[in-house]
Amino acid sequence: MPLYELLCVSAITPSTAPFRELVRSTTRLVVDHGGAVRAMRYWGRRQLPQRTRRHQQWHYEGDYFLMHFDTSPPVLSQLSSRLRADPRVVKWTTLKLGEKLEEITPPGTSAGYTDAQGMAMYGETRPTPPANTVMGGGKTVE
């Protein structure tokens, strides 16, 4: 399943219950259809870049959250339909980060194919500089 990123802006309410329920229902939709939520971050209450009219109301600020998740494309379209109809949602956008691990995580990171010292595994080696070279833009020593 592809990895997606959802950035969602929720309408401001006096209590946090509607926002928490929006996050809960969004994650529940993904998990109930065989997906996995990888990360969830609350970005806080922020001013919108410009006032936005949604569901017959003007919005000037919102609660932002970011979610990384794996799901199938049909579930993604169902999620988009739900967010469009939900009166708690002001704006949202979904980005596809990739389908394969190599597309998502660059080599050399903890999820790549290198060990703790940064040396490549599986018999690969890094080229070493000549012994008479000073690293960091220094002069060559003869």
Mean pLDDT value across the chain: 81
- Structure-token pair, residue 105: 């995580």
The residues, ordered by sequence, that sit 6+ positions from 117 with a Cβ below 8 Å of its Cβ are none
Q: What is the mean pLDDT of residues 87-94?
A: 94
Number of residues that this document lists for the chain: 142
**Sheet bearing 3-11, strands edge to edge:** 36-54, 57-70, 3-11, 89-98
pLDDT in tens, 32-70: 999 999 999 999 899 999 999 998 989 999 999 999 999
Question: Domain ranges in the chain?
Answer: 3-99
The pLDDT score that the predictor gives to residue 105 is 65
Residue 53 exposure: Cα atoms within 13 Å on the Cβ side = 1
Identity of the amino acid at 108: G
Q: Which superfamily, per CATH, for 3-99?
A: Ribosomal protein S6/Translation elongation factor EF1B (3.30.70.60)
Single pTM value for the model = 0.68
Residue 39, Cα to own-chain centre: how many angstroms? 7
Among 22-36, 58-72, 98-112, where is mean pLDDT lowest? 98-112
When pLDDT is cut at 50, 70 and 90, the band that residue 118 belongs to is very low
